[in-house]
Structure 1
Amino acid sequence: MFKLVKLIAQPGSWAADMDKARFNRYLINLIRAVRSNMSNKVYRILNIILIVWCCGLFVPSTYALSQAEASEKLLTPNFEEINNDWWTEWPQLSQEEKNKWLTAIRKNFDGVVSDIDYSSERHENIVLIHDLLDSLNKLVTHQPEEQLPEPKSELTLQSWLALYRSTERLNNERQRIQAEKRQRTDAIRYIQGQLQELNVLHRKLEPQSFERASNGIAFYAAQINMLYAQEKLISTDKQLNSTQAKFKTTTLRLAQSAEEITSSPSFDKQLTLQKNNLLASIEKLKSIMSSLQRRAWSSLKGEKEIVFQLSYQEEKLKLISAQSQLLSIDILLHISQMLQGMGQVSQPEWGGKKARLIQEYELLNSQLASYREQVLVSGEAANEMIYAKTQRTVWEYLEANQKLSNELKSKLRDVDFYLQSYQQFISLRKGWLSELGFGWSLWSDQAGSSLDSTINFTLFTVNEYPVTLFDLLNAILVIVLSILFSKFLKKVLYKFGQKKAVSESTIFNVARVLHYVIITTAALIALSILGIDSSKITLIAGALSVGIGFGLQAIFNNFVSGLILLFERPLKVGDLVELESGVRGRIKAINVRSTQLKTRDNIDVLVPNSEFVNFRVINYTFSDPLRRIHIPFRTSLDSDKDKVRKVVIAAAEEINFTQKDKQHAPDLWLKTIGEFSLEFELVVWVNANKLPDNDGVEAAYLWKVESALREANIEVPVPQKEIYLKRVTKVNKSIISSLEHSED
């Protein structure tokens, strides 16, 4: 008992400092003392308390040991057995802890590498580790200076412009840092992949070999590189957060400063002076460009052409940039006058000018990309592309033009901001109605300029004549209006024909001829709009004749056949015809290439026009729509012929399309007296134009005739045959023998 109390009473202050062997001996003695007193319940409770107490001692001591082991691994790099994750706690360390880590890493690394054999590869990795440690030390110890916010003062238009430019600079800086952050993140991913590859390779190499130690040094260099990449990412995040905070503050200040801005006549004089200087620069640039345009571009080929065009594009970019800056100054002058209460709300053509400048910028930017692609494709020959007048290479022109293009883009953003600010000032100083009027004027100018540049864009050229979108739309409009006019004229002609009782076929032919005349005239007008001279149509006709002679022969044949059908009029719309192929139906339309027939089964059939001209065609309604139909039927031999005649003719007259006039009255013919019946034939005249579209004319007459005969008790005979069977008692033996012989 005394021994147990003595062990428990030992102070625990040294527990965290004792080594493993001493702590293990202490724990074993404590457990033995507890076990010797297990008979008493009090000591059992005391046993539980001791276990909990020992755990309390063991956990901090174990933690201290693990920390010591980790520090030992960190302080003494082992290139034989690499440690994968000692550096993972770096982002969570404070600056002081990072400085301690770097001091320990450098000291112990120098001590380890001093005892190893050097090779060229090892030497490069060791130098790399030293350089990375130096850079990492500078990065950790560097503390960016915090800029104090500028005190608020009276905001003039000039200081407002400086505030806007500061906002633009911070925005560009923010975008640059965001791009840098993405690059840092990609670099960390790449180093992680490199560490994984080196780790896998390290496990495959022979232990205690020269290659394994060299790979360990390379792995350690990659780990130090990971520390540097993580620290750069942390620094980039801090810089990005600081820049975003400044940008937010400046943007908010700029947005809330509209009511505080003032201006003065002295600032107007400065703007006017800048405007005059820009006008002089613009005139000078225009003279330079006109001198360049006077040169024969067609005489410049290949390399010289690209360099010359780049030099011309450089002057063009300068001109557009000066015009953009001039537009900005003009807007600022109006803003200054409004702030001083000197000017009224004006609506100059700023929207149109801005739209034209943007279009010029986009065109020049696309041309620059095309020139760059041509230079890259030319390969080594691009190094010899030099403009003799300026002695500048094509690469210098590309770099200068790209820089001018970026500056022009920034100035166009300035123009857009000044226009929005002017609209905001109008709303504050003149009211929302003036703002609405200015906004409408600005939008209409931009829309008109965009529409004008779009419809005047050259699509292609015909005989050196530029064909724009406006010309093409005019040509299409002429064709569409001619088609609509032709359809309207066709409806008018049909109404006129109905009032004057003109035949449908005549109206159709006249409408079709007028349609061809209108379309042909419209086509000639459209061709003249597109720049095709009417005198050249003969050449086009000659070319078409060659095409007709080969591939378009069948189409041209059908077209000419359609004209023959229209003017000779062997067929008319509404005629009932039957072709040599057996197709029968009514003509619904005679078109350029084919004729539309509708059969009795309500099926539309398109027949080539040449078939009506080159083959036999039966036209049931060519000269007279009346046609005679023969309906055969029969009755029994004992039927009364006069009664049959009376009943059948009366039944035929009940059908509405039967002709009942004296010349075309129905008639009944007795055709044949057969063995068991009288064969009659009902002869009727019908109007083909009044017949139903289906093929049921004969069926209608047969239906009526059969019903009338049945009501009159007139028998319709059915063919009958009588078969007589004679019983044979004796059979000729010669017949039987002949049959048996035939079977054999």
Structure 2
Amino acid sequence: MVGASLLIPRRIARNYSFFLRLFLPTLLLLAFTCLSVSTSAQLPGGKPKEFTPEVPDFADPSADWWTGWTNASPEERREWLSILITNWREWEKDIPEDDEVLQEGAAKISQSLQGITITWKKREEYLKVSIMPDLEFPGNPTVLEWAKADSEISRGRRRLKGVELQARQLKSTQSQSLSLLRKQVIVLRDSSGREEDEAAQALLLAQINHLNIIEQLSTVNSFLGIWQDKIKEAETKLRRMLDSLVYSSEDAKEIEDDIASSDKKIERISGTRTSIQSTTEPSTDPTINMQKDLTLMQLEVDLLEEQLDKRKSELLQSINEVLNEEGEERPLIISRDLLENANTIIEDASRELAVRQRQVVAWRADEEDEDLSRWWSYFARIGSGLARANDLEQDIQRYEKAQLEVYRERQGWWATVRERVSLGAREAYNRWRKLADYQLFTITQNPITPRLIAKIIVVLVGVWLLSGLTQAFLRRLVRREHASESSMYNLGRVLHYTFIAIALIVVLSMLGLDTSKLALVAGALSVGIGFGLQAIFSNFISGLILLFERPLKVGDLVELESGVFGRIRDINVRSTRITTRDNVDILVPNTEFVAGRVINHTLDDPVRRIHVSFGVSYASDPDLVREAALEAASRVNITHTDWKRKTEVWLMGFGENSLDFKLVVWVNSNMVTSLGDSYALYNLELLREFREKGIEVPFPQRDLHLRSWDVPALVARPSRK
């Protein structure tokens, strides 16, 4: 065993040396080849293509000479722009001085080239700008120092949103610029002579402007990413700052003074608003009324600002007090009423402000600008106040989160469970509301949002459920025999279509369409009805006639002029469903019931009389035949007899083969199913009864009369001599 174990490593070593001798030259050759390839890439003949700026023919610029700009480095772009400016200045000298159009176009091109240089200078200036210049993170911070840092970061976020908006606008402008370039290329291609020179300048100007837009977008994106990183870093430091807060009695005194000052302002604003509202001086001047309404709106926004500012101070006071280890435990200040009311006030005031602006424009469209300036100052102040109120609302939400963090750190996790769950639910609701208010598209300048679509779905589902419940209630009345089936069916159909019409009007109003202009829509529909929808509209009107006039009802046994016979199952707006004897459902257009002849066997009185013809042999006793026929009729369950309507047997005539009788019987049509035939029932019972009583039903007979005669004697004809 020991010898075998020693042999295995040796065998492996021999195999390893064999493989090494076999593959080592191959590996060396492969490495040498790779080295040769990498070395040849650095040889003069294999050197990568150097950057060469492309200068267009200014008299006839190509459509794609500028496309390499985006792949060039900043240094290469600067070199390219310098060459473009130099060549353009040389070419510009050859433009005739007396040609004002070309000189004006050349000036615009020179200005656009200089605009790229200005964009680069602005980039250097933007990179030097600090998004949060006053931001500080001191050691052992107090509540007010934390609030100051939070306010500075909030201002940075607003600046960042402005830059993001600018970036989105530049992207949109870039797309429009590309469209303009394509149009100018087509114009240059289709131009000739004098127009060709102007089209060439227009294309060159559009191309250089597009390069300027590319540089502006690149500049904005460059410092946009830097600002985003700085704000994220500042937010991280702010959270750490919250963990190291210390109590400050000076901050407590300052916060108390701020709360007292807010109370005084709230009282003053409330008093002013109450005094204006209590003024009952009648005035028919719309300008005075508008000024009063805008003043009240401004006071309402100011009052909301002070209330939100006071709430911020109360939250800071609560955070500062919980940091005081010597003080008593203070409860959390969590109240949803203020924020909910603030959100409602901001939304209502924004809508009302838009309405007031449209009113002022409608009133003062023909006046001078000075007359409108004071109104726009009102609108500007109210709009600024609403923006500040919105910012204060967001500040309060952050302060509440900070308060929960501090309380959780000081008093334990379980002390803030209910408030944290409530805050999380409110954040989820705010996110859902933001998503629900996202504008998908517009209809007549009205935004269509997921919230609006959800409301429309709720309306339609509610109408559907209401119609279903109404139908169920009417069917229940029929089952309890409080109303007839036909009347409840007609009422249900009318209510169903009424609900649909109401839902349609509500949906149109929710979409922002003017329902007062439905008359125009009706006029347009009437034109369409007159041409292509005549048959459909005729069936619709006929259906309404059938529902209201009630010449037919569900369950009636009808026979149409076309030969259709059966019971009515449904009466719809366009057609009526009839079930025939063969259990076949036929959809009959409603116009056939109104314009054609219809036999309704169950319109007023379901009892009708039928005539069943039969024949017996001449040897039969007529009295026995009459008795048998009456007995057979009594056995049929649809036979109706009373003191006025009795079954009769009539002898109608003497036929060639039989005595012709007719069974005249009254039947209840409601008992006749559409799958059966009343004549067949009576014929079957007559046959049974005749067989029991031995009455013969004759076959067709013929009498054959045979007559015989003698052969006549032959008479010899006399011969002529």
Per the normalisation by structure 1, the TM-score is 0.54
Letter aligned with residue 167 of structure 2: K
Deviations 1:308-349 (A, max 9, x none): 43333222221222222223333333333344464454575x
Paired position in structure 2 for 1:248: 232
Corresponding residue of 1:165: 151
Which residue of 2 is the match for residue 465 of structure 1?
Answer: none
Which whole-Å CA distance do the structure 2 matches of 1:129 and 1:577 have between them?
86
Q: Is the 8 A contact 2:160 2:224 kept in 1?
A: yes
**One-letter amino acid of the counterpart of residue 406, structure 1:** A
Alignment pair present for 1:714 and 2:695 = yes
Structure-2 change in CA distance of 1:299 and 1:645 (3 Å): closer
What corresponds to 1:276 in structure 2?
260
Q: What is the CA–CA distance in structure 1 between the aligned matches of 2:548 and 2:192, rounded to whole Å?
A: 94
Q: Is 1:135 the counterpart of 2:106 in the alignment?
A: no
Map 1:212-231 onto structure 2 (within 5 A).
228-231=212-215
Equivalent position of 2:450 in the other structure? none
**Whole-angstrom CA distance in 2 between matches of 1:691 and 1:194:** 81
Matched, 1:313 2:297: yes
Match for residue 361 of structure 1 among 346, 358, 361: 346
* Letter of the structure 2 residue corresponding to residue 168 of structure 1: S
Paired with 2:652 and 2:191, the residues of 1 have a C-alpha distance of 118
Question: Displacement of 1:136 after TM fit?
Answer: 5.6
- Tell me the equivalent position of 1:407: 388
Alpha carbons 2:59, 2:201 under 8 Å: kept: no
Distance 1:380 1:124, change over 3 A: farther
Q: Which of 143, 161, 173 pairs up with 1:175?
A: 161
Partners of 1:81 and 1:586 in 2: CA distance = 84
For residues 495-545 of structure 1, the C-alpha deviation after alignment (integer angstroms, 9 at most, x for no partner) is 8xxxxxxxx7xx769xx9xxx9xxxxxxxxxxxxxxxxxxxxxxxxxxxxx
Deviation at 1:293, TM superposition (A): 2.4
Letter in 2 for 1:709: F
Query: What secondary structure sits across from 2:338 in the alignment?
Result: helix
Which residue in the other structure is 2:686 paired with? 705
Distance 1:308 1:175 in 2: 35
Q: Does the 8 Å CA contact 2:141/2:245 hold for their aligned counterparts? A: yes
Aligned length: 541
Provide closer, same or farther for how the CA distance between residues 704 and 79 of structure 1 changes in structure 2, counting only shifts above 3 A: closer
**Distance of aligned partners of 1:642 and 1:153 in 2 relative to their CA distance in 1, 3 Å threshold:** same
Aligned residue for 1:321, secondary structure, equals: helix
Query: Could you tell me how far apart the structure 1 residues matched to 2:301 and 2:246 are?
Result: 34
Aligned-pair CA distance for 1:165: 1.8
> Whole-Å Cα distance in 1 between the matches of residues 203 and 479 of structure 2?
95
Q: Report the RMSD for the aligned CA atoms in angstroms.
A: 6.5
Task: State how far apart, in whole Å, the 2-side matches of 1:408 and 1:314 are.
Answer: 12
2:309 matched residue in structure 1: 325
Q: 1:576 to 1:199 in 2, by over 3 A?
A: closer
Deviations 1:674-707 (A, max 9, x none): 7754456779899x69955568556434312212
**8 A Cα contact 1:677 1:717, kept in partner:** yes
Paired with 1:425 and 1:413, the residues of 2 have a C-alpha distance of 19
The structure-2 alpha-carbon separation of the partners of 1:398 and 1:91, relative to structure 1 and needing over 3 Å to count, comes to: farther
Relative distance call for 1:300 and 1:339 in structure 2 (3 A) is farther
Residues of 2 paired with 1:134 and 1:314: CA distance? 46
Q: Distance in 1 between matches of 2:678 and 2:185?
A: 98
For 1:172, the aligned partner's letter is: R
Please say if 1:435 is aligned against 2:417.
Answer: yes
The amino acid that maps onto 2:417 is: E
Once the two structures are superposed, residues 63-107 of structure 1 have per-residue CA deviations (whole angstroms, 9 ceiling, x without a partner) of: 7xx87xx58x87xx9866769848955874456x77777777777
Partner of 2:529: none
The amino acid across from 2:140 in the alignment is: E
CA deviation after TM superposition for structure 1 residue 109, in Å: 7.0
Superimposed CA distance per residue, residues 161-206 of structure 1 (whole angstroms, 9 cap, x where no aligned partner): 2232233222212211122223444555666677777888889999
Contact 1:106–1:133 (8 Å) recurs in 2: no
Structure-2 change in CA distance of 1:261 and 1:719 (3 Å): farther
- 1:95-174 to 2 correspondence within 5 Å? 118=97, 121=103, 124-125=107-108, 128=111, 132=115, 135=118, 138-139=121-122, 144-145=127-128, 153-174=139-160
Match of 1:291 in 2: 275
Change beyond 3 A, Cα 1:137–1:415? closer
The one-letter code sitting in structure 2 at the alignment partner of 1:371 is R
Kindly name which structure, 1 or 2, has the bigger radius of gyration based on alpha carbons: 1
User: Which residue in 1 is equivalent to 2:217?
Assistant: 233
Post-superposition offset of 1:354: 1.3
**Match for 1:431: what amino acid?**
W
Matched letter for residue 291 of structure 1? S
Q: Deviations over 1:128-180 (max 9, x none)?
A: 37954873674476584487996663343323322322332222122111222
Change (3 A) 1:445 1:251: closer
Contact 1:297–1:305 under 8 Å retained in 2: no
Deviations 1:29-79 (A, max 9, x none): xxxxxxxxxxxxxxxxxxxxxxx99x966777x97xx87xx58x87xx986
Distance 2:651 2:183 in 1: 112
Q: Helix, strand or coil for the counterpart of 2:698?
A: coil
1:536 corresponds to which residue?
Answer: none
Q: Structure 1 pair 257/693, CA: closer, same or farther in 2 (3 Å)?
A: farther
CA distance in 2, matches of 1:402, 1:183: 23
Mean alpha-carbon deviation: is it higher for 357-366 or for 302-311? 302-311
Contact 1:327 1:415 (8 Å CA) reproduced = yes
Counterpart amino acid of residue 247 in structure 1: I
The whole-number CA distance in structure 2 between the counterparts of 1:324 and 1:111 is 65
Assess if the C-alpha contact under 8 Å between 1:376 and 1:382 holds in 2. no
Equivalent pair of 1:99/1:140 in contact (CA under 8 Å): no
Summarize the alignment of residues 189-588 of structure 1 with structure 2, pairs less than 5 Å apart: 228-255=212-239, 258-296=242-280, 299-340=283-324, 342-346=328-332, 350-377=335-362, 378-381=364-367, 383=369, 385=371, 393-425=374-406, 427-428=408-409, 429-432=411-414, 434-436=416-418, 439-440=421-422
Kept after mapping to 2: 8 A contact 1:347/1:441 = no
What's the offset of the Cα at 1:364? Answer: 0.7
Structure 1 equivalent of residue 618 of structure 2: 637
Contact 1:324–1:415 (Cα < 8 Å) also in 2: yes
Secondary structure class of the residue paired with 2:365: helix
TM score, norm. by length of structure 2: 0.55
User: What amino acid is the match of 2:352?
Assistant: Q
Superposed displacement of residue 359, structure 1: 0.9
In the alignment, which residue of structure 2 is the partner of 1:34?
none
